[in-house]
Amino acid sequence: MSRVIAVSNRVARPRGGSKSAGGLAVGVLAALKEHGGLWFGWNGRTVRGEPGDVTLEEDGRISYATIDLNEQAYELYYNGFSNTSLWPICHYLLGFFRYERREFDAYRRVNALFARKLLPLLQPDDLIWVHDYHLIPLASELRRAGARQPIGFYLHVPFPDIEVLRVLPVYRELLRSLCAYDVVGFQTPRDLRCFKEAIAERDIGGLERADRRNTRPAAPMHADAFPIGIDVDDCQALAMESGEQDNVRRMVRHLHGRQLLIGVDRLDYSKGLPDRFRAFARLLENYPAIRNHVSYLQIAPATRSGVRAYAEIRQELEQLAGKINGEFADIDWVPIRYLNRAFDRPTLMAFFREASVGLVTPLRDGMNLVAKEFIAAQDETDPGVLVLSQLAGAAEELTEAVLVNPYDVDGVADGVHRALSMPREERVERHASMLATLRRNDITAWRSRFVDALLAARQ
Ligand code: ADP
């Protein structure tokens, strides 16, 4: 059986203590679990000079091959081009966008370094699966270095509309790099449409054909939507088994019978947290009878601390939470509990199960796995209600959620109020329909479809 070689910017070791590695790590691990394979990427350490040799570690059927990165290269490639140019563009948040040519140069150099270090580890019948926006040029670099294996790329974030993409000075170069892959996968049909429209531009298509002649006269590139799913049974089992854990019982005790609203996100400006806090305040303003009957728990561990916008949003949220609690709290009630830390999966799933409302209101999101996990973790006979942003990829599948526009503070407040007062029968019906959707397209289906597409590319 072919090995799957997963490549991502960061390798999240299961025993590395990283509790909040995000949706990408969940997906990559799932991709490797069944077949076994190799996960290649950065180890999280930076060094002053040249990065050293690849470190290899085994853990069951999965091998981990990791490298250091030079301190300055990391700053320019990761904090710079990846997270200050590409991330805002992909999330349609142009106010956060900035471009520096030297950051793009470093991005290309780090991709070339990844290719050089990965190449000696490859075997002829491997399937290479590259993950996310940090590594778009990797296939062209690998081909240039002589790799002949099928190479696929999966974009975990949204693919923006061409008119937004055009803001990026080097967008054509990135589109051409994408065309060097055998398989290119997106979260939703909408992302796929945007990609197809972008590469339909005459000059991109022409260069694509020329590039392909130079590098690999193989079958045409296959582009498709592969919406990422979750392990439904695992989430369900964790949610049911973990209810008696000490931290879950403590959380429930402090509710004193109030209805729980929960949000779980990385602390990222794309997650719409300030607007979500404002919508919660608007809920308390517009529906005063609800005061002292609900408790909002927001879990949001800090990420990407090297990017200024992330430090700023952290400050903004602390101020907002303080202001809202100052305005509405009572001697026996704190409206918002805002925790800047990660929790393990069992605890999160049990928290979800206790909640009456799951708040998932990103300003834009590739998929949003939290939305799916929230549904899977519910008690099917008395489920909570998902309030979901129309601008998350998950909204294309979870159409029975209460769908809201995350920018519309009053609209989100109304949506939450509707969720809180929804009759049980309606909750059960909506939940059953969404659970069936999650089962039809779970994490196994996602991985199998992508690996099959890579195998087909080899033939
Ligand atoms: P993103 O990949 O942008 O972070 P997703 O919602 O797609 O967003 O995936 C987030 C993943 O990380 C989910 O599996 C979620 O359970 C997990 N996660 C998010 N926040 C936390 C946290 N505070 N503690 C632990 N895990 C978290």
Question: Domain of 174: which CATH number?
Answer: 3.40.50.2000
Give me the half-sphere count of Cα atoms (radius 13 Å) on the Cβ side of residue 352.
Answer: 34
Q: How confident is the model at residue 2 (pLDDT cuts 50, 70, 90)?
A: confident
Do 222 and 238 share a domain, yes or no?
no
Active site residue 222: no
On the question of pLDDT at 207 being above 60, the answer is no
Which residue from 28, 248, 351, 370 has its CB within 8 A of the most atoms of ligand 1, so it is best to mutate?
A: 370
Do 100 and 248 share a domain, yes or no?
no
Q: d(Cα 261, Cα 384) in Å, to the nearest integer?
A: 9
Do 244 and 135 share a domain, yes or no?
no
On the question of pLDDT at 215 being above 90, the answer is no
Do 383 and 242 share a domain, yes or no?
yes
Residues 214-222, mean pLDDT to the nearest whole number: 57
Please state the domain count of the chain.
2
Q: How far is the CA of 22 from the centre of ligand 1 (A)?
A: 4
Residues 300-313, mean pLDDT to the nearest whole number: 88
Residues 61-84, mean pLDDT to the nearest whole number: 96
On the question of pLDDT at 176 being above 90, the answer is yes
Where b means 16+ CB within 10 Å and e means fewer, 54-81 reads beeeeeeebbbbbbbbbeebbebbbbbb
Give per-residue pLDDT as tens, 332-350. Answer: 999 999 999 999 999 999 9
On the question of pLDDT at 72 being above 70, the answer is yes
The predicted structure's pLDDT at residue 22:
63
On the question of pLDDT at 14 being above 70, the answer is no
Q: How far is the CA of 229 from the centre of ligand 1 (A)?
A: 13
Do 451 and 433 share a domain, yes or no?
no
pTM, rounded to two decimals: 0.94
Do 97 and 8 share a domain, yes or no?
yes
Residues 180-191, mean pLDDT to the nearest whole number: 97
**Which residue range(s) make up the domain with 195?**
4-229+443-458
Which one, of 97, 44, 119, lies nearest residue 74 by Cα?
44
- Contact (Cβ atoms closer than 8 angstroms) between residue 183 and residue 221: yes
Count of positions (residues) in the chain: 459
Give per-residue pLDDT as tens, 235-280. Answer: 999 999 999 999 999 999 999 999 999 999 999 999 999 999 999 9
The tokens of 246 are what? 């000490």
Helix (H) or strand (E) holding 320: helix 308-328
Where b means 16+ CB within 10 Å and e means fewer, 143-172 reads beeebebbbbbbbbbbbbebebbeebeebb
Alpha-carbon 295 to chain mean position: 26
The predicted structure's pLDDT at residue 210:
46
Do 224 and 238 share a domain, yes or no?
no
Lowest mean pLDDT among 28-42, 68-82, 280-294, 409-423: 28-42
Which one, of 384, 277, 268, lies nearest residue 328 by Cα?
277
Do 208 and 257 share a domain, yes or no?
no
Do 197 and 266 share a domain, yes or no?
no
Do 415 and 320 share a domain, yes or no?
yes
Do 153 and 239 share a domain, yes or no?
no
DSSP E strand boundaries for 285-377: 294-299, 336-339, 357-360
Which residue from 28, 188, 265, 339 has its CB within 8 A of the most atoms of ligand 1, so it is best to mutate?
A: 265
Active site residue 293: no
The predicted structure's pLDDT at residue 20:
45
Residues 154-179, mean pLDDT to the nearest whole number: 97
What angle, rounded to 10 degrees, do the helices at 345-354 and 232-241 form? 80
Do 80 and 178 share a domain, yes or no?
yes
Task: Please give the single-letter amino acid code of residue 240.
Answer: M
